Structure 1
Amino acid sequence: MGPHRAISWVVMLLLMPLLVGVALAADEAPPKVRGTAGLLGDIDSGRVIHAQDVDTRLPPASLTKVMTLYLIYEALAAGTVKLDAELLVSENAWRTGGSKTFVKVGDKVKVEDLIRGIAIQSGNDACVVMAEHLSGSESAFVAKMNAKAVELGLTNTHFTNATGLPDPEHYTSARDLFTLAVSLMRKFPQYSHYSQEKQFTFNGIRQHNRNNLLWRDPIVTGLKTGHTREAGYCLVATSDKEGQRLVAVVMGATTRKIREDDALRLIHYGNRMFETVKFFDAKATVRKLRVWKGTEREVEGVVSEPLVVTVPRKERGSVEVGVSYDEPLVAPIQTGQKIGAVVVKAGGKELFTRDLVAGNAVERGNVFRVMFDSVRVTLGW
């Protein structure tokens, strides 16, 4: 018997309403963003729920600071900078135009205060202080921003500064901002609280968070606003409602209220119409698979990342998760080796696949085991 493809449905999810008589939401069109571009997506599954001109290259204004914060958080996580470290304010940083934290030239400012200055006050001067410390100059820091954009797959993004000040060669897209926000929220949850803080006082000057949605709805968790004449009013809004974490991106709105109303309408639409379900945590065993010619009879098939799916609520009763792999699996098998795929379907339609990898190693068996299993595989026993 030769190799063949096998698929086994390991989960058939029947997520029926918890209470008898509770009806699923009727079909509803997604709200249209009254700006240049808009997007709604799920942080944990990565699914884009609604997209409107999401690949158009646009000026991001201070949404740029999401990438600036990303590199700062990355440095904190790596231990190359500490929250309580005090950084010297250069004249170059002090002279930076636009929104300010109001740092003073020659002062030493704690990293944590600079982060709050960026996340809450949108301080351009604070961005430059951090950029100069982490990379030696803002231009060197910008090179790291662009390298990180490539690493994250941001195909419509290019930065020329760390602040978002206007420049014809400084642009991004709604889809790229979603990808960046998802990576930030997944990778650095320990720092997410900075974007939720409603005000920050520095040098005796109190400034409120420019994201008014923090006052309008308790499920809003951040993330960043932006505005220039070229970019219009922009917003990346994140939310968490009973574990469903969403991102709404609005770019090119004509007023602050429109960007906030549209972002909130997108988030509420996602909460009403979609459900996010986690099937497996990272490193969880999806299924044990039979192994031939090895010291062990089975190998644990695991997923490297959490397996999460976002589906319309009306389809939640039709979600299936299956394992697809080539039989027979023959030793040796190394830990982490790809041994198959996890397939997720809803309504009979494939949504996505994820690699299934070996959670344990299986060495090649002795000569008797190899001979015996060879016969069994050949004869189909």
Structure 2
Amino acid sequence: MRQALSGIVSKSASPLKTIMILAMAMTFVVAGAASSFAAKSAAIVVDAKTGKVLYSANADGRRYPASLTKMMTLYLTFEAMAKGKISRNSPVVFSAHASAEAPTKLGVKPGGSVAVETAILSIVTKSANDSATALGEMLGGNETNFARMMTAKARQLGMNGTVFRNANGLPDPGQFTTARDMATLGIALREHFPQYYGYFAQRSFLYGRQRINGHNRLLGRIKGVDGIKTGYTRASGFNLVSSVNDGNRRLVAVVMGGTSGGSRDNQMASLINAYLPRASTRGGGDLVAKADSNPISALAKVLLPKHDAPTPDEKPVAVAEADTAVADDATVAQGDSEDEDTAEAETPKLVVPAKKVKTVIVSAPKVATAQVVAAYAEPAPAVDPVNTASVPSGWAIQVASSPKQSEAQAFLDNTTKQARKVLADASGFTVAFDKDGVTYYRARFGGFGSKDAAWKACTALKKKKIECYAVQQ
């Protein structure tokens, strides 16, 4: 660089000319670093009704998930709730390890606990790392085993480009994913657990006397956006998975590697603006996010190509900061958190461009079956590959059916209020089914270990003049 500049800047050059030439040279250096990072960005837009890919850019490139990792933590939490293994009120105990996680966090002391629902809300709003770890330890016994469960579940869902190493997404060089896989997970969360999906639309919640606000700035600003999750570390850049539902069309879009929260949000807004009108108004039959029925591949530890791996040392902060060593992003350093508010002192104004985005319309490529190189001793249960949402195994009771999910949920809420003691250990959920081209929603409570237990609950509900019958899942 010095030789190049010396050839450009002559000894006779005026001071002003010299400054201008040096400024131009520095501009090229900064631009080169920025373009290197831009090459690591990724995005995808998927029609959530049909599975058709409407837009794709580096969708299969390996990326760091950051807090998008918590989407799988919540998937396994919802699965445990749906199967009646835990309930909204089950206590989540925070170990010393969980309590010591880096911010952002809820701040529960070692040995303390919160309800499952509080842990969920702290994850979808504050992106609490300690809550995610505590849930992982609760469900997996320890975080390492839970990470195995997360990866096994990813394989079952067809997420062949993802490996999880922890429950919260804090930096780990062995934890990676793709934009396509995150879209698959986003669709699966809604399709398999519609009874719990509403948590992702939560913009704030009360924790004691404290109002905790969420990081997802598109909620309430872009019509139809109802979740799902933000993510940020210095290595990953700014990530976002968004679900959009305008009543007739549904999209799941992913943006990864943004240079700022504002630019990422603006890119997501542009994608939604451009592609929501192109989404199908039909569909809604078979599930888009189906489980892999092959238990061997579900247990596989996938072998990904060595190229196209994220390289934290090329991040844009390397231009302005001296801490460019790769080790900085492989450890939890000060400021290397999941806190977007810390990363950006001011929230950039959200701009929804009217100009159309240049697009690349592609079809989802066929992914070869991953080679099996390891098997986990305790795989997570498979998602039911049926035409309805994944529901609890065993026995359940049904209290209503409605063409509107909101009405079915209202039946569940009212029934819970009227019969709290009867349903103390049960979990409410809705199950979608199609009849004569119309989608209906069954309102059910699961978690009954036997036919007799379900019948007994129905008998008690009928005494309260609540219609009910028992069904085996």
Structure 1 position 102 matched with structure 2 position 107: yes
The structure 1 residue matched to 2:192, chosen from 182, 187, 193, is: 187
Partners of 1:43 and 1:186 within 8 A in 2: no
Corresponding residue of 2:139: 134
Q: Say which of 234, 250, 256 aligns to 2:255.
A: 250
Pairing partner for 1:200 from 164, 189, 205: 205
Q: Corresponding residue for 1:117?
A: 122
Instruction: State the number of aligned residues.
Output: 254
Return closer, same or farther for 1:255/1:279 CA change in 2, 3 Å cut-off: closer
1:231-270 correspondence runs (5 A): 231-270=236-275
Match of 2:86 in 1: 81
What value does the CA root-mean-square deviation take over the aligned residues? 2.0
Secondary structure of the residue that 1:264 maps to in structure 2?
helix
Alignment partner, residue 228 of structure 1:
233
Residue 67 of structure 2 corresponds to which residue in structure 1?
A: 62
2:250, 2:279 within 8 Å by CA — same for their partners in 1?
Answer: no
273-282 or 159-168: bigger deviation: 273-282
Q: Which amino acid aligns with 2:261?
A: R
**Distance in 2 between residues matched to 1:239 and 1:176, nearest whole Å:** 17
Equivalent of 2:50 in 31, 45, 53: 45
Aligned residue runs from structure 1 range 1-381, under 5 A: 36-278=41-283, 305=387
After superposition, the Cα gap between the structure-2 partners of 1:141 and 1:149, relative to the gap in structure 1 and judged at 3 Å, is: same
Contact 1:34/1:253 (CA < 8 Å) preserved in 2?
no
Query: In structure 2, what residue type is equivalent to 1:265?
Result: S
| CA deviation after TM superposition for structure 1 residue 35, in Å | 6.7
In the TM superposition, what is the alpha-carbon distance from 1:201 to its structure 2 partner?
2.7
User: Paired residue for 2:433?
Assistant: none
Aligned partner letter, 1:144: M
Asked if the contact 2:249–2:279 (Cα under 8 Å) also holds between the matched residues in 1, the reply is: no
Aligned in 2, Cα 1:119/1:239: closer, same or farther, shift over 3 Å? same
Q: What's the offset of the Cα at 1:273?
A: 3.0
Q: Which runs of 5+ in 2 are unaligned?
A: 1-37, 288-384, 389-473
SS in 2 for 1:213: coil
Aligned to 1:23: none
How far is the alpha carbon of 1:155 from its aligned partner?
Answer: 1.3
Contact 1:34 1:262 in 2 (8 A): no
Gaps of 5+ in 1: 1-32, 283-302, 307-381
| TM-score, structure 1 normalization | 0.64
- 2:190 is paired with a residue of what secondary structure? helix
After the TM superposition, which of the residue ranges 229-238 and 208-217 deviates more from structure 2?
208-217
How has the CA–CA distance of structure 1 residues 104 and 203 changed in structure 2, closer, same or farther, with 3 Å as cutoff?
A: farther
For the 8 Å contact 1:195–1:224, the answer to whether it is kept is yes
Cα shift at 1:275: 2.9
Q: Post-superposition shift, 1:86? A: 1.5
User: What secondary structure sits across from 1:189 in the alignment?
Assistant: coil
Give the strand-richer structure, 1 or 2.
1
Q: Whole-Å Cα distance in 2 between the matches of residues 156 and 230 of structure 1?
A: 18
* SS of corresponding position for 2:219: helix
* CA distance in 2 between partners of 1:201 and 1:92 (Å): 25
Separation of aligned partners in 2, 1:43 and 1:112: 26
Instruction: Describe the SS at the equivalent of 1:236.
Output: strand
SS in 1 for 2:220: helix
- What fraction of aligned residue pairs are identical, expressed as a percent? 38
Q: Contact 1:120 / 1:194 at 8 angstroms: preserved in 2?
A: no
Distance in 2, Cα, partners of 1:268 & 1:42: 14
The residue type equivalent to 2:238 in the other structure is: Y
Deviations 1:120-170, CA, capped at 9 Å, x for gaps: 110010011111111111111111001111111111111111110111111
**Structure 1 runs, 4 residues or longer, greater than 4 Å off:** 279-282
Which amino acid is the alignment partner of residue 155 of structure 2? V
Deviation at 1:105, TM superposition (A): 2.0
Contact 1:58–1:171 under 8 Å retained in 2: yes
Tell me if the contact between 1:86 and 1:109 (Cα under 8 Å) persists in the aligned partners.
Answer: yes
Q: For residues 293-335 of structure 1, what are the alpha-carbon distances to aligned partners after superposition, in whole Å with 9 as ceiling and x for unaligned? A: xxxxxxxxxx9648xxxxxxxxxxxxxxxxxxxxxxxxxxxxx
Secondary structure in structure 1 of the residue aligned to 2:123 = helix
Query: Can you list the C-alpha shifts for 1:22-79, whole angstroms capped at 9, x where unaligned?
Result: xxxxxxxxxxx99700000111211111110000000010001111110000100111
What amino acid sits opposite 1:233 in the alignment? F
Q: CA deviation at 1:87?
A: 2.2
Question: Which stretch has the larger CA shift, 228-237 or 206-215?
Answer: 206-215
Question: Structure 2 counterpart of 1:128, which letter?
Answer: T
Deviation of residue 97 (structure 1)?
1.0
Distance in 1 (CA, whole Å) between partners of 2:123 and 2:44 is: 24
Aligned equivalents of 1:174 and 1:198: distance in 2?
A: 24
| Paired position in structure 1 for 2:403 | none
CA pair 146-281 structure 1, distance change in 2 beyond 3 A: closer
